[in-house]
Structure 1
């Protein structure tokens, strides 16, 4: 008979144990609710998702791979179902021993390690036929692969050692580790290490986009290492799926990123904002041109349909504090931008310069048209005498050399906004560039002078004084007229009768005195055409092209 005190003592111990278990259960339940609450937090609506982050949601770890592809190679620990029938009968599941063999009765050990699964049946049958010449058939198939334990480490959510089979893919093991860390893990830098050697490198983008996954046969002790997050760019707008995309290397190209994130069929322009060498840059260009654009880590690319533009990017530089790029609503005016700019103390606010791509393109078209006309004029002129023929030949050669050089110049596309009370109402265009120059006290003199240079501005100096300080006119100088290019983009043409006069406000600090070349041509029309082109180049590029 059991003593009453012992019964009471056992009951008391049981109650205490149950309380402990219930307490642990309650704590576990509370902890689980807390974890579930954290894990189930939705991604902020404005946050661009990381490409591939939805890949690991338990789908792979809950479905281990039980089938075997034909290329799977038999390894130690695999289980092979073998059946013999006919004159001799046998049926059993055989395990591949540490030497890589299975033992077949009456036949002996058969070394199957390394044999491809697709060849296994014929391989075993050939060995059986060496003993049983007739009336015995064999059927061998892989029933189960070797159980293995694989380490998963690096930038995963739950690193550890996980059970599986050698036939399971790395997706099974990554999913078992609760997937790649979306904040710090890489989807393009995954390595499988065996005995301190890398046996496979895997880029999951190939699997996500094209369904390509290397067939790696894992072994006990293999290590799957997920590298740290690489450089990434953000692609959004008119694409099939906005996302942050990784790349390996110092930069990538937009075309490579669009192989992963497919663009909308109607997307035809790209707005690219990025920091290059510490300077924030923005561009807006046709998609066909942007495909080879270099993208650096942190770049933001927005694909747009040209009838779908809601904002523009304007680049600012010079004597300013603040951002190098302003994103403004479509239809923004120059005045709206000016209210956002923070000018430095020495900024010349009266000489703000605006450069526009569309204006540069029009200047280029006009220049090319003039050059085409000049070329036609020279090539089609018919000489009347042998003397004219020789002169025209030399003249044509000279003009052709000039045209060749002129076609290489690139207009700057400056829009003159000075002295215009309505300039603030002007609509800005995407890609406009605003430059605020520094207040200066110098005058530059360029072109056909002996020593092109910059000189300190003196209000009492005349043009003749500045020319003398630059060494005087060169032999090929046009001494009849000079051009003064002001910082604000306006120009002043001064004839020789005013060279020795004080110009007052017509010559200001920061101006550029441009001495044009003299046209040495015997043909009046050619001289006129070349002069027009020279002046167009000087004003459009702020440079003198020698003739």
Structure 2
């Protein structure tokens, strides 16, 4: 007989009849601590500001911004690379021949000539019977071909020619201005401007300009560099430096700080013809999800701020000292909800922002023989983050209380030191715990039709006949469920407690995510029929460790954190 798989909403029709059962919902909220129920409508008009475009472009006040000193300039790491590789010969193919260079000229065949010639002050070498040959500012890679062509005008046949640049003339450059270590530095005439800037410790990130770097020769400007062209496009035009040239790094011009959802969250120096938002965006490269821009700055001596859409910001005039924050301020039109566990069909659903649990359950198919539909729960990112924050706060308070505990004697001080070491180890292990963010939505066959959040994971547990026993027991393992068995029977089946077990309270983690703790009665465990602690197939019994109150002073705090971890992550930490 063919099995029929029904939508989950039909299987839960009786139990998820929450919209019409306010009394049942209230009972569920009282049974499950922290249970979410649909909230009442709130009038939020007083919290909503006027839409963008209705306000004047500049408004009094300022937006909170990061400290400007924490925003690095664009290209700040250009001079932070490791050891430079050096050429043993000191010559590269792009080296430009200059005055004083030594060139080997060899001719054989009908004419024999071998001599090392020096480039004169006019940029020429003189070859007998050929005359002066201009080689100044010729790349080293082209030198052989150019000289050969000149020689062949005189010796057309039976003469072989070989030209080689032997040495490059070193030059001394004065690097000054807004650099870390101004001074005179030696190099080659063909070395790049970056080479000399790095020798001088790089551009001062607080006051140096990456866009106005000048080469002065005899007090005359002969070359200017804009390193933004190199940073964005890889363009760095070659230049032949001469001895005693001055490399001057100018002071910064207008600077704008960029933060937020941008690929380049740095401070940018604007040239004289750059003042619009679109020009800044070409450098900052905001991410595609960036929808709005917050700008704060000074206008006419007063602090101002403005919040614009991306399209409005493109034509907005930015000025020196502005702080620009790119922001993703578009509310999602759909929620992404995933499904895990025992289900059929898709594992991912895109639903409207006002979707509730019932809406998604109606889309999920399950096999009722396999799926524990009465134990559905939700894993929620926001809950996991909140659990992690609360755990972190508890660990901080514990650490502070231990490290600041007073000692009245040397013996007590030694005990406090031992305590601090043990607790520090416990804190480090506890920090590694990742909360699951479970939201309990079902209890006693009733489910709360709560509003969903983006990223929610609906977990449909698989039906099982086992109960997991773990924690401080001798042989942690899975035991087959028996209706007539109580907690003590399962504990005995795994060898009993360890010496470090906390026998007074044992955590019971139900399949629906609800965590409860058993209580001892006359030295034995009692789980009443029909109570929230009644063991069911799929439950997990977690025996927590006991804290030694003879050694540790902060027993109460540590015990509380252990229980907190058990609830948040379903694990036992000691």
Identify the TM-score tier after normalising by the shorter chain.
Answer: 0.3 to 0.5
Q: Which has the higher contact order (CA 8 A, sep 6+)?
A: 2
Q: Comparing both structures, which one devotes a greater share of its residues to helix?
A: 1
**Normalising by structure 2, what TM-score?**
0.44
TM-score normalised over the length of structure 1? 0.46
